[in-house]
Amino acid sequence: MRPTGALHLGHYHGALKNWVRLQAEYDCFYFVADLHALTTHYEDRQVIERHVYDMVIDWLAAGLDPETCTIFLQSRLPEHSELFTLLAMGTPLGWLERVPTYKDQMEKLKDRDLATYGFLGYPLLQAADILIYKAAYVPVGEDQSSHVELTREVARRFNHLYGRSADFDAKIAAALVKLGKDDARYFEKQRREFQEAGTPAPLAKGEAIVARAEGPQSKAAGWTAEDSELLRAHLRGTGRAVLTEPQALHTEVRKLPGLDGEKMSKSYGNFIAMREEPAEVERKVNRMPTDPQRVRRTDPGDPQRCPVWQFHLVYSDVPTKEWVVKGCTTAGIGCLECKAPVIEAIKREQQPWRERAEAYLTNPKQVHWIVEVGTERARTVARETMRGVRDAMGLNY
Ligand code: SF4
């Protein structure tokens, strides 16, 4: 997530809530993408700096547990920039120019000079961020799918270009010897058939031979995980998977629009901050526009035309929603009355955030420490990947 400072309810419902849930299921890496912030705000140094820790406090307040997931700062790991540079060497320009968000953002941020190399390259930096942790999944919205797809293409190209080390063929030959004559001959036959016809049957048979060699009944003496990886690459005619192709992880999230029904955003001034004061929440919701056709209290309204209804969809249970629909369409309730349960639900949701945040606000060193520990944890994984990447590219002299 880019450091945008204190987060709002749109961030929470659109991403953070999902992150909190995912940390229990996966080994998650969450980072402050401060280098990404520079791709569009390269002139705002201080702003970015101030925003970093405010945002991390909101993550922690929302329930991210630094014992369970890894929280870190992108710019503290030069490995991200190194992988970005190395990937840039073989990435065709056209791949970056056709990323749909590139032109989109150019249009939206017309007031900034974005004709920069950094801005064009930011999806590649994103690819490096993902690939450096060999991520299996990336939790993204549909609008970010093209970035994950680009990451997959970049990984595939890298593996194709560099997955064959100088001793690749010798290692394959050695692994085949370990299989034994009969299995090796059978394996080679399946490989030829698969590469000629591309049908699944010989691929499955070849895979079965590898699985048997690595299984508990294996007769292949001294068989290693590397042997399996090499023979699988040999079977498919690819290089070794130095980088892992990630999958996009789409989850159903109910997005919360802004107070005016548009996208919630700080720059539109239509937001409620995650740690907004309760009195301010009340004031903001009470001032929300409603169905424009419901001019007087006695006019029946239609929730579909009303931004408050979008809040009910996120915050209210079925009986409350039924009460709104009936009351609104029959002019049985007034708009302030209708907003009251939303205000209460937001305040209830915010209460534990405020309490957790308080502990970090009074002890900012603890937040710095959490980021420090997470950064070191991430560094261990990033360094390991970079060793493999440098090796594969022949940069190990
Ligand atoms: S009663 Fe509720 S849903 Fe209907 S217009 Fe008023 S605020 Fe909107």
One digit per residue, the tens of pLDDT, for the chain of length 397 reads: 988 778 999 999 999 999 999 999 999 999 999 998 888 778 777 667 778 899 999 999 999 999 999 999 999 999 999 999 999 998 999 999 888 878 777 777 777 777 889 889 999 999 999 999 999 999 988 878 889 999 999 998 998 888 877 788 899 999 999 999 999 999 999 999 988 888 899 999 999 999 999 988 888 889 998 899 889 988 987 777 889 999 999 877 788 999 999 999 887 889 999 999 999 999 999 999 999 999 999 999 999 999 999 999 999 999 999 999 999 999 999 999 999 999 999 999 999 999 999 999 999 899 999 999 999 999 999 999 999 999 899 898 8
228/185 Cα distance (integer angstroms): 16
Q: What pLDDT, on the 0 to 100 scale, is given for residue 340?
A: 98
| Distance between Cα 305 and ligand 1 center (Å) | 9
Q: At what angle do helices 78-90 and 122-131 cross, to 10 degrees?
A: 120
pLDDT for position 183: 94
Any atom of ligand 1 within 6 Å of the Cβ of 303: yes
pLDDT of residue 4: 79
Residue 104 CA, ligand 1 centroid: distance in Å: 34
- Cα angle 217, 218, 222 (rounded to 5 degrees) comes to 140
Choosing from 313, 328, 333, 343 the residue with most ligand 1 atoms within 8 A of its CB, the one to mutate for a pocket test is 328
- Give the span between the Cα atoms of 45 and 55, in whole angstroms: 16
Nearest CA to ligand 1 atom 7: 335
CA neighbor of 127 nearest in space, from 179, 173, 84? 84
Element (H, E) at 249: strand 247-249
Q: Is 187 in the pocket of ligand 1 (CB under 6 A)?
A: no
CB of 108 closer than 8 Å to CB of 143: no
Euclidean distance between CA atoms 222 and 178, whole angstroms? 8
Neighbours of 368 (CB within 10 A): 13
Q: Which pair of structure tokens corresponds to residue 315?
A: 């915050």
Atom of ligand 1 nearest to the CA of 303: 3
pLDDT of residue 304: 96
Atom of ligand 1 nearest to the CA of 309: 3
DSSP code of residue 303: G
Both tokens of residue 305? 């035309």
How are the residues of the chain apportioned to helix, strand and coil, as percentages rounded to the nearest 5? 65, 5, 30
Using CA atoms, how far apart are residues 237 and 235, in angstroms rounded to an integer?
6
- Ligand 1, atom 3, lies closest to the CA of 303
Pull the structure tokens for residue 320: 């409350």
Q: What is the pTM of this model?
A: 0.82
List the residue whose alpha carbon is closest to atom 6 of ligand 1: 335
CB 164 within 8 A of CB 240: yes
Q: What residue's CA is closest to ligand 1, atom 4?
A: 328
Q: How far is the CA of 334 from the centre of ligand 1 (A)?
A: 7
